[in-house]
Amino acid sequence: MSAQSNIQTSDKPLGRDELAELVARDIAPGSFVNLGIGQPTLVSNYLRPEQNITLHTENGMLGMGPVAVGEQIDGDLINAGKIPVTELPGASYFHHADSFAIMRGGHLDICVLGAFQVSATGDLANWHTGEPDAIPAVGGAMDLATGAKDVFVMMTLLTRDGVSKLVEHCSYPLTGVGCVTRVYTDKAVFLTGPDGVTVRETFGCTFEELQAMVPLPLVAAS
Amino acid sequence: MLNFIDTVSEAVAGIRDGSTVMIGGFGNAGQPFELIDALLESGATELTVVNNNAGQGDQGLALLIKEGRVKKMICSFPRQSDSWHFDARYKAGEIELELVPQGNLAERIRAAGAGIGGFFTPTGYGTMLAEGKETRIIDGRGQVFETPIHADVALIKALKADGVGNLVYRKTARNFGPIMAAAAKHTIVQVSEIVPTGALDPENVVTPGIYVNSIVRVADALGSKEQVA
């Protein structure tokens, strides 16, 4: 086994929940965090109370609690995915311009987003397939991508056709330029920056096997 | 000038064909369904509507679109699992769409109410939504020039108004209400309750009455907790 292979930390690729658990563990205590619609919302299931994380939802709330059930359901209290949620002690409400000032002003520590593609330099494509008959819808994706101090992406590494979503240059329309700092996938965690892509750890494959799947030069974390 | 109006029909009676109408709400939360229904009944058409979405299901804004009253939508997220009325009009080429990132939408509305002629924002820089717009590098970051969105009328929903038009909202139903109230020439508000002047704590007023023109009480509004639960 080569020296580089010892960044493999799991025998198997990670499932969606295992990946969410890993992202949750990597969020620093006391952080203010926005979880995007879809797979990123799973992260909230694994945040521990002692981490003291405050969740932001772009429709005007800090201190968002778990999804509402039964009697708790209230049409006036929803998250960005329009799912009824709950409020935690210490929650606050504010209007939309303030909510996006929280984002754009750099007050959020982390946002976690899904992606179609991420480029070698951290460009993000996650809002539009670019197909001519697709109805475009951007929501808060561009604001989140450019506003949070750290942008984490959660996605499968490969498309259903086996093509890497981590690419040299995005072919889908961009959401933001050079904004992604980490990419969590089922097969590896990548750190992206102006100096290229570093692999922090791999799951179910060696570094060399991972490199064979990704069409850009990777560096293994030392 | 503040007016308390008895019915939603009277409240929207002055909205003319071709108006730009801001409608509060994020999804169904804060959407003033009863005012929208009245606008539909009024027959006003060729409207430009500003909202975060482009209608859900078979109610509210979705019906206005279904009936062909909306010429143009300015919004951030038109496509949803239940946005079939917008989808059909859009695919038929019968409705114009100006797609705006949500934070830029909010700030453009805020800018209109605050008398700001435009602003530079990093959101959207380097993307197709910034094509054709002025850009600058400010503090080392690429930024895009965005202009205010003004409106003739705003239709919003709040929880309570007092006798001078001060408003408080409820939870995430606040969303676009306060900034739309300031951005429109004429702001029409539906509230669940009208309380005597002095009954709202001035420290907790969210929208000062100066931004409000018409208030109509709608008890048991669609989307209230009692109807959803």
**In degrees, to the nearest 5, what angle opens at C-alpha B124 toward C-alphas B91 and B77?**
35
- Whether A91 and A64 have beta carbons less than 8 Å apart is answered as yes
User: Average pLDDT, stretch A139-167?
Assistant: 97
CATH number at residue B208: 3.40.1080.10
State the pLDDT at residue B68. 97
State the pLDDT at residue A5. 55
Residue % of chain B over a pLDDT of 70: 97
3-state DSSP call for residue B96?
strand
User: Residue A164 pLDDT more than 50?
Assistant: yes
The C-alpha of A72 sits at a distance from chain B's nearest C-alpha, in angstroms, of 8
Phi, psi of B195 (to 5 degrees): -110, 160
Interchain CB distance below 8 Å, B122 and A100: no
Q: Cβ–Cβ contacts within 10 Å for residue A5, how many? A: 15
What does the mean pLDDT of chain A come to?
95
Q: Write down the H helix ranges in chain B.
A: 8-12, 33-42, 61-66, 84-91, 102-114, 177-183, 225-228
User: Average pLDDT, stretch A123-127?
Assistant: 96
Tell me what ipTM this predicted complex has.
Answer: 0.95
**Structural domain total, chain B:** 1
Active site residues of A: 58
Which of B26, B172, B174, B228 would you mutate first to test chain A, the one with the most A CBs within 10 A? B172
List, for residues B193-211, the tens digit of each pLDDT value. Answer: 999 999 999 999 999 999 9
Interchain CB distance below 8 Å, A142 and B126: no
Name every chain B residue with its beta carbon within 8 A of the beta carbon of A175: 127
Residue B83 structural domain: 3-228
Q: Which residue of B has its CA nearest to A91?
A: B171
- Whether A142 and A175 have beta carbons less than 8 Å apart is answered as yes
Task: Enumerate domains of chain A plus CATH numbers.
Answer: 3-220 (3.40.1080.10)
Amino acid at the residue A153 = V
Name every chain B residue with its beta carbon within 8 A of the beta carbon of A84: 228
User: Residue A141 pLDDT more than 60?
Assistant: yes
The C-alpha of A1 sits at a distance from chain B's nearest C-alpha, in angstroms, of 43
The C-alpha of B163 sits at a distance from chain A's nearest C-alpha, in angstroms, of 23
pLDDT band (50, 70, 90) for residue A1: very low
User: Residue B46 pLDDT more than 80?
Assistant: yes
